[in-house]
Structure 1
């Protein structure tokens, strides 16, 4: 009833239906049926490795030769997710969606191809660094470094435009509204500048998330497939428990996805910190250092909370492994358990292990909820402390100073 997804995508996109020795990628500029399979390591393949990705830089595209609409999308359609509009309209019209309404998997997100590429990079890492010096994190970075750099560049644009609008243009507009002289073209230009800054900030932020989510899906699919292949080749799993295998294929895979999707946000931290501290210190004076000190104190507290969450996660893996082994024992010996009426004893053991696992998960959830709840109020605390100290010291405080400073915080 449902054909194989990879086979269907391969026929539409021109991918080979057999697993090649080296990863290959279809050339989007060639017609279907005439595409040549180019090895990943060939010079011509390296020269055209970004040929398909560069097509997204076109503002608008009218091509429909790819199987998935995201591969036909232009820049504006990709960053605003406009390519999902037909699916949203169908869902709104029919009030439901079926498997036939959803597009097939894009060949660029296929786990088979991405796993082959990741394995190729891993073999290159082994040749260059050796078995002892090889780093899987470095291989992950090489796998998605170009897309991550594009996401970081989009994030920097977001941060700069998000700072210029509230900190500079809004301040100038407040000063203009309080001045006695009114020059209409100047006021309109400030309003237009604020609109353009917010538009650029919104679009660049949307582009960053669109790139990150697609990159994270590729890396997670490649890493999980790579892990599955490794598990299948293991002769014995004595050194690896069932709980650890389940954790690798579920929790760790999700952590890889989250690290790629939100990891580039770390690059915007230093830039925002420098711009915010410089701006508030220039317009408010030394009292702005109080708000910055609150933020600086907040970061170690959040690091401690994240360490506690990681500690509870590692502790929960051991309990999960114990529960999985106990369940496997029950399923394997269910006849003997029924024969000797040991249901209550094993049920009590399972209940004890599950209670311990639940208790650890509740502690981790409390720590995570505390970080999520405290983070939004740091801005309020920093603003109140800064403005209170500013007024206690006898300095003047105007609306043109308060609003941009709060936005900067």
Structure 2
């Protein structure tokens, strides 16, 4: 990855990049491949008796890829990150002249801190790249299905939506899949981390360690409430964005009529009101 990226930087420094200078997209990331993968699972959902679920179609298509990347992430979160505090404990004991901590053990602890930091950085950025790649595949597959569906809409169905609304979904809403791919690991890692940290602290602090964990648990209802509030605000924002795009699309489509009747000023006021 580093080789082709640096070669692209050097080439861009020497001259302006052209389309031929860019590398070809990997076959596994091509739009028609990821679309076919999602379309197969979505067709199975449509054949079910119940209400079709896009979530389960996406999970069946791209969920196994995310789960595979959870394994090195679990090693980083539950192994590497918890290994560093243990090494720090031995260093502190050595500098506090603990007779049970030798210089040899302190040196190994210092080396363990450095190696754990290197491993943490390597796994972190590698996994972020792979999570972003899966999010990109989900986004590309959904955009391809939306485009394919829009090409098959009947005249009656087209009257219920607009081109602007479809473009808004493909340009703004699908970007949430990228964020989900990056932060979905917290759904699994956070409970495991909390359980392991609670187990390790119990031998030192006993019941006192439950105070901090209790505060975290009390914040869960607050976060759920805030999530619902942000969701409702996001829904209202999406509706306003759709109405603004629909208005702009209608104005552009009827530009000749607007110019002929000199309606520029009233429609300018409509656009200014919609943008507030």
Q: Deviations over 1:232-274 (max 9, x none)?
A: 1010323334454233212221112221232223211101111
**Uncovered stretches (5+) of structure 1, i.e. residues with no partner:** 1-76, 356-409
**Whose helix proportion is higher, 1 or 2?**
2
Which aligned pairs between 1:206-225 and structure 2 lie closer than 5 A?
A: 206-225=125-144
Once the two structures are TM-superposed, the CA of residue 315 in structure 1 deviates from its matched residue by 0.6
Task: Say if 2:257 is the partner of 1:336.
Answer: yes
Tell me the residue number matched to 2:192.
271
In structure 2, distance between residues paired with 1:296 and 1:312: 25
Task: Say if 2:81 is the partner of 1:160.
Answer: no
Taking a change above 3 Å as real, the CA distance of residues 193 and 135 of structure 1, as seen in their structure-2 partners, is same
Taking a change above 3 Å as real, the CA distance of residues 189 and 83 of structure 1, as seen in their structure-2 partners, is farther
Taking a change above 3 Å as real, the CA distance of residues 276 and 96 of structure 1, as seen in their structure-2 partners, is farther
Where do 4+ consecutive residues of structure 1 move more than 4 Å? none
Once the two structures are TM-superposed, the CA of residue 82 in structure 1 deviates from its matched residue by 5.4
Tell me the residue number matched to 2:209.
288
Once the two structures are TM-superposed, the CA of residue 153 in structure 1 deviates from its matched residue by 0.9
Q: Matched residue of 1:341: which SS? A: coil
Aligned residues: 273
TM-score by length of 2: 0.87
Tell me the residue number matched to 2:147.
228
In structure 2, distance between residues paired with 1:180 and 1:151: 41
Q: Matched residue of 1:330: which SS? A: helix
Higher relative contact order (CA 8 A, sep 6+): 2
Structure 1 range deviating more: 217-226 or 302-311: 302-311
Tell me the residue number matched to 2:115.
196
Once the two structures are TM-superposed, the CA of residue 96 in structure 1 deviates from its matched residue by 5.5
Taking a change above 3 Å as real, the CA distance of residues 289 and 114 of structure 1, as seen in their structure-2 partners, is same
Which aligned pairs between 1:255-404 and structure 2 lie closer than 5 A?
A: 255-355=176-276
In structure 2, distance between residues paired with 1:317 and 1:346: 22
Cα-Cα RMSD: 2.4
**Uncovered stretches (5+) of structure 2, i.e. residues with no partner:** none
Tell me the residue number matched to 1:248.
169
Q: Deviations over 1:157-176 (max 9, x none)?
A: 11113432333221122112
Q: Deviations over 1:211-245 (max 9, x none)?
A: 21111111211111011101110103233344542
Taking a change above 3 Å as real, the CA distance of residues 352 and 156 of structure 1, as seen in their structure-2 partners, is same
Task: Say if 2:35 is the partner of 1:115.
Answer: yes
Taking a change above 3 Å as real, the CA distance of residues 83 and 183 of structure 1, as seen in their structure-2 partners, is farther
Which aligned pairs between 1:37-56 and structure 2 lie closer than 5 A?
A: none
